[in-house]
């Protein structure tokens, strides 16, 4: 009989890119073109390991113990979102989200956080001051920060906040207040 090491999932910080498609927004891993399907956990895969995350491998779904590491992956204009006074027009692959993800299954603790077999977002934050244009045959639809947050919340079934800053200190305060 296999008894898990923990009853509750490990929760860590990540960042994602947002992609837009005719089906709506989707979370995409920041460093790899991996789509996080709404309502379904992401499962790690690896060509070298039979059961990721492998001890002698770098595979698995990563999450950091605190938001400073994911913050480093954000493009400079997204890091500066708290200084934007007018809305910035962002393209399809530029809008970013930062948030917390639950990790479970096989989980390996690493120097900065964890690598896991399964993951799903538990809460997300998008920066204020963004504007996304969705083009369709019917015309152009405009999504501001609040509308992007609402669409993501409806799609993934998790709380999505609009934050004045994606700086790690601000995210920690907002996560503690939630």
Distance of CA 43 to the CA centre of its chain: 15
Domain ranges in the chain?
10-177
Highest mean pLDDT of the ranges 18-27, 79-88, 115-124, 160-169? 115-124
Q: Provide the token pair at 107.
A: 């989980």
The residues, ordered by sequence, that sit 6+ positions from 177 with a Cβ below 8 Å of its Cβ are none
pLDDT for residue 83: 53
pLDDT for residue 78: 67
Convert the pLDDT of each residue in 39-73 to its tens digit. 999 999 998 988 899 988 999 999 999 988 888 77
List strand residue ranges (DSSP E) for 68-173, in order: 88-90, 96-109, 113-127, 130-136, 139-144, 160-163
Q: Tokens 């919340």 — which residue?
A: 153
- Please say if the pLDDT value at position 5 is more than 70: no
pLDDT for residue 1: 42
Question: 160-163 and 113-127: which strand pairing?
Answer: parallel
- Rounded CA-CA distance 121/119 in Å is 7
Least confident of 11-15, 31-35, 114-118: 31-35
- Rounded CA-CA distance 63/115 in Å is 7
Query: Could you give the C-alpha distances from 1 to 4, 33, 50, in angstroms and in order?
Result: 10, 36, 20
- Please say if the pLDDT value at position 21 is more than 80: no
Convert the pLDDT of each residue in 32-48 to its tens digit. 889 999 999 999 999 89
Tally of residues, the chain: 178
pLDDT band of residue 109 (cuts 50, 70, 90) is: very high
pLDDT for residue 17: 87
Half-sphere exposure of 167 (CA within 13 A, CB side): 8
Question: Per-residue pLDDT averaged across 86-108, rounded?
Answer: 74
- Please say if the pLDDT value at position 150 is more than 80: yes
pLDDT band of residue 80 (cuts 50, 70, 90) is: low
pLDDT for residue 118: 96
């Amino acid at each position: 009989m296999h008894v898990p090491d923990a009853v509750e999932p490990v929760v860590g910080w990540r960042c994602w890119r947002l992609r837009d498609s005719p089906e709506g927004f989707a979370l995409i891993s920041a460093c790899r073109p991996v789509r996080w399907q709404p309502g379904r956990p992401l499962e790690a895969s690896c060509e070298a390991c039979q059961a990721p995350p492998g001890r002698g491998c770098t595979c698995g779904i990563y999450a950091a113990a605190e938001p400073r590491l994911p913050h480093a992956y954000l493009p400079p204009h997204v890091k500066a979102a708290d200084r934007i006074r007018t809305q910035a027009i962002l393209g399809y692959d530029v809008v970013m989200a930062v948030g917390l993800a639950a990790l479970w299954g096989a989980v390996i603790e690493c120097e900065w956080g964890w690598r896991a077999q399964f993951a799903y977002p538990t809460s997300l934050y998008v920066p204020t001051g963004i504007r996304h244009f969705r083009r369709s045959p019917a015309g152009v639809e405009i999504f501001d920060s609040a509308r992007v947050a609402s669409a993501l919340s409806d799609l993934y079934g998790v709380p999505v906040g609009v934050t004045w800053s994606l700086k790690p200190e601000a995210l920690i305060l907002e996560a503690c207040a939630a």
